[in-house]
Amino acid sequence: MIRVVLPAHLRKLAHVDGEVQVDVEGPVTQRSVLDALEARYPMLRGTIRDHTTHKRRAFVRFFACQQDLSHESPDAPLPEAIASGAEPFLVIGAIAGG
């Protein structure tokens, strides 16, 4: 079970409070986590990454285990603590204006 923390606006879109949890089959990567997230919460498609290219939206960042993973390959394995559920995968709206 992968834990994902969404920013407030996306929690509201997905009609959830707090963390969400998704199951990932196979390697735990940004791509597989986001695929699982969007499969469970289809209303989030297009809000974190582009519909077609799957490129991360410019003002969205991915943090985990005190690291900025935004510029890692989407197919790179995420830290073991994410895969084990010990730490959440954080989707963050970049701090930029009001």
Instruction: Rule CB under 8 A: say whether 41 interacts with other proteins.
Output: yes
Instruction: Rule CB under 8 A: say whether 53 interacts with other proteins.
Output: no
Instruction: Rule CB under 8 A: say whether 55 interacts with other proteins.
Output: no
Type of residue at 43: M
Q: Which of 29, 38, 36 is nearest to 82 (CA)?
A: 29
Taking the least distance from each CB to other proteins, the nearer of 1 and 96 is: 96
At 20, is the secondary structure helix, strand, or coil?
strand
The least CB distance from residue 2 to other proteins, in Å, is: 18
Q: Which of 98, 73, 78 is nearest to 90 (CA)?
A: 78
| Cα(35)–Cα(32) distance, integer angstroms | 5
How many residues make contact with other proteins (CB under 8 A)? 25
The site for other proteins (CB under 8 A) is made up of: 7, 9-10, 13-15, 38-43, 45-48, 51-52, 57, 59-60, 93-94, 96-97
